[in-house]
Structure 1
């Protein structure tokens, strides 16, 4: 098992080294030269999105509570499809037409022609704040992984997983993150099929998975759960709405939408959408069946699950079902999920610190070499802060992810959509949306009342949208921003109508090459 894990680490570091050799410019480090093939973009977006939640949080919640936890999965699946359909093509076009923006904060600034720099700074601060919690959730998952897999110390595991992730992200940048994501995504895909399918062959009666938990005590639980298979049991309409609303968050996740900006052309978003939606659908099915199989397997065999919360059900099944070498390979899928998300988040946060804060505050030009070194230094600094937060985790992996997901979804989601579809968006309107959305999520998540049963992303998105529209209508959109918006629409339409043309051809077809 250790051999398999060491080999996996070696492959990740080798990809990091290869990407380092290919990354000579600062822009390449941040966005990979906008040359990402659709398959790579799709799997990279999916892998960086899912994190340890897919193999630990989701199967654990389904195992412990039942099918009422499926609403989150349904909402996320719809959000994945919608994001690739309506956001990806336009963001690819608009981000390059809008000053060749390489980060989300710089895109917001260039799209609205904000000369005050306030919009860009606010966006960067929000990224740094919420991604620190997000990276911390990955550290927590890494520590739990090490505890469950090797019976080792939580802190040791967290440091090992964090160190390898930091190294390949630090040296290889966007290309390393994207191409390691592909390897990691395919590992996750294969593992989520292998574990439940193999377990079904071990069970005395595989059909029991569709009834056992409702009729018998299972796992660490002394009583049956009669409502286990009821999607509506124990959850109110408010909770269902809140769980479905996880799908709203997709439009505002910087580590996902950055892949859209890096596509070779807007037309390739359609192919990426099909690949990405298929990948995530199969992974979800595997996670569901992992939980279902676990309810029977642990009772039938008498084996013990490591964590009563259920978050180690996938890890425990893999260790019990397979030879240690094969189990080690399968268990690298959990590492893959954890590390793919952490690496993306580290890179985005580093970019926000250097590209969107330092370069704005410093007000002077510095060499590309210095920017590269500074970005790499920030990757280490952010990781150290995340480690400090994760040393004594006070929440589950899903809880930490949920807070950060809501923060980004509310702060950035409405602004991303409006940037691409509403020419009247203004910089003050975007700032009002970000601040009100982020504050609403933070306050709503801190209040303990019946109202807060509703996932904080819902009030966050509503408040942010109202604030954005009201302030934008009360202020004047700059004529040059509207002109640029119209040019971006023409470029995008040309690119979508001529899928074999390069993006430069689309720019040439629109007068003035509005870069």
Structure 2
């Protein structure tokens, strides 16, 4: 563990050096919020991969596999098409939108597309709600790592992790998180492949692992569960398919993905984005399945005690079964991946607070004040997130992340994914869709948390809320009259 701590410390020194460099380059609000539209394709693609997944995949993923078996694959299958959907449906339009209008946030794009401050303001509110939950996922993952390494409580780890992230984000803005993402995302893609093969070696091959799991009684369940290694695992088919639906299509509503499309320097190279982002995501999926299954195998064979917290699966495996140097690199890589993702989330949320919501209320801050108050907003959001994590942290990292993803998918996917490709969409449709998607997501989750009502057959809340939101968007747009589009928006949509 001493070796791991030393490597983590050295790795974080590099990360903070990147943050310091980014702070020196951050001079304007455009630098702070969209990296000055200066990112190359490789940087953009790897940053989108890292921001989309990080703690959600690397910590929550193996824990979800340990709990549900092969059903967790339905969390990673969407990466085969989701990144392509984001780039092809929105890539060029979002990049051209910022050229045509000066847009720097998703709410800016919504305003210019629908000419509605109400729709823009609701987008900002939906962004804040989703960010607090999704950011909480990352902070919980970071707190879990810190607690495991330094033998402290997860709650204390969360506070320490959030404090580090807040300092980092306030200084460097989105540029710090972006270049950190590229550094650690590249390392984690390679490390994921190495760890996958180590997990197969520990379990004497995938065939032996799956056969043992299918035939031997589960230590903590008292019976054999062959369905664990079946196509659905312990998830219901409806739940698994609803995950796939919302996690693939819903990517076009994720502000931490969509807003990075503003930052691309060369629009002509957009076609390479899907492959550059999807390949490391698939490699990360191998880690999720390999570690989750082998940890369940080790518990069944008596080599490992049942995990008190499934999210510890990857942490325990790294310490017990991988070389200390590799474990240290992965611990540090995951921690920095989470930090860069947190940076992106905080950046987007602070933009909603200092740009989007004031604009909806007919108030606009100067560039200097946006930069100043944007950094102050980072502190406020960090405090709110810690309080939310300490209240909701027992949901599990992967499932908590699914709540945040589903909220964004339901509230924003229709107005962006459909609205920027369909000229007959109306502002009334956008307003109704955002309201319906946001309210449904929040209300259903609250009712489930309170034990009052849950969706039948384990249906994923984000999926059903997104379907209803899409139907609302299309229906209301058909019965209301579309406004004539400004010439610059026409050009963006025709591109």
Where does residue 378 of structure 1 map in the other structure? 377
In structure 2, do the counterparts of structure 1 residues 95 and 357 end up closer, same or farther at CA, with 3 Å as the change threshold? same
Is the contact between residue 102 and residue 261 of structure 1 (CA under 8 Å) also seen in structure 2?
yes
Matched, 1:92 2:95: yes
Between the aligned partners of 2:492 and 2:206, the Cα distance in structure 1 is 55
- Summarize the alignment of residues 74-93 of structure 1 with structure 2, pairs less than 5 Å apart: 74-93=77-96
Give the superposition deviation at 1:204. 5.1
Supply the distance in 2 between the matched residues of 1:458 and 1:324 (Cα, whole angstroms): 41
Q: What is the match of residue 503 of structure 1?
A: none
Structure 2 CA distance for aligned equivalents of residues 260 and 20 of structure 1? 21
Q: What do residues 119-154 of structure 1 show as CA deviations (whole Å, max 9, x unaligned)?
A: 211111111112111112222222222233332222
Give the aligned partner of residue 340 of structure 2: 340
- Against the structure 1 CA distance between its residues 349 and 145, is the aligned structure 2 distance closer, same or farther, given a 3 Å change threshold? same
Within a 5 Å distance, the mapping from 1:326-405 to structure 2 comes to 326-361=326-361, 363-366=363-366, 368-392=367-391, 393-405=393-405
In 1, distance between residues paired with 2:279 and 2:349?
A: 29
How far is 1:155 from its partner?
2.3
1:51/1:339 contact within 8 Å kept? no
- 1:279 & 1:338 partners in 2: Cα distance? 16
- CA apart distance, 1:365: 4.8
Distance 1:190 1:298 in 2: 27
For 1:24, the equivalent position in structure 2 comes to 27
Aligned match of 2:444: 444
1:211 is paired with a residue of what secondary structure? helix
Question: Aligned partners of 1:188 and 1:113: how far apart in 2?
Answer: 42
Q: Which moved more, 1:153-162 or 1:170-179?
A: 153-162
RMSD: 2.3
Cα distance in 2 for residues equivalent to 1:10 and 1:219: 42
Deviations 1:269-307 (A, max 9, x none): 2111111111111111222112233233455672446x3
CA distance in 2: counterparts of 1:195 and 1:229, whole angstroms = 20
Change (3 A) 1:320 1:371: same
Quick check: 1:472 aligned with 2:477?
yes
Task: Output the CA distance in 2 between the equivalents of 1:31 and 1:384.
Answer: 24
After TM superposition, give the deviation of residue 176 of structure 1 in Å: 0.7
Give the equivalent residue in structure 2 for 1:107. 109
Question: In the TM superposition, what are the counterparts of 1:70-219 in structure 2 within 5 Å?
Answer: 70-97=73-100, 99-114=101-116, 117-203=117-203, 207-217=207-217
Residue 197 (structure 1) shift: 1.9
Task: Report the Cα offset of residue 54 of structure 1.
Answer: 0.8
* Partner in structure 2 of residue 248 of structure 1: 249
Paired with 1:219 and 1:149, the residues of 2 have a C-alpha distance of: 27
Aligned equivalents of 1:3, 1:279: Cα separation in 2:
26
Following superposition, the deviation at residue 110 of structure 1 comes to: 0.9
User: How far did residue 396 of structure 1 move?
Assistant: 1.4
* CA offsets 1:16-50 (integer angstroms, 9 cap, x no match): 11011111111111101112111111111111110
Cα distance in 1 for residues equivalent to 2:364 and 2:201: 65
Write the mapping of 1:474-513 to structure 2, written as runs, cut at 5 A.
474-481=479-486, 483-490=487-494, 492=495
TM-score, structure 2 length as denominator? 0.91
Match of 1:511 in 2: none
Once structures 1 and 2 are overlaid, which stretch shifts more, 324-333 or 401-410? Answer: 324-333
For structure 1, list consecutive stretches of 5 or more residues without a partner in the other structure: 493-515
Q: TM-score, normalised by structure 1?
A: 0.88
The answer to whether the 8 A contact 1:13-1:167 is kept is: no
Cross-structure match for 1:269: 270
Q: 1:370 to 1:141 in 2, by over 3 A?
A: same
Q: Is the 8 A contact 2:69 2:234 kept in 1?
A: no
Q: Give CA-to-partner distance per residue, 1:323-353, whole Å, 9 cap, x none.
A: 4444222212331342232111101000110
Query: What is the deviation of 1:449?
Result: 4.1
Q: 2:63 aligns with which of 60, 63, 66?
A: 60
1:227 alignment partner in structure 2:
227
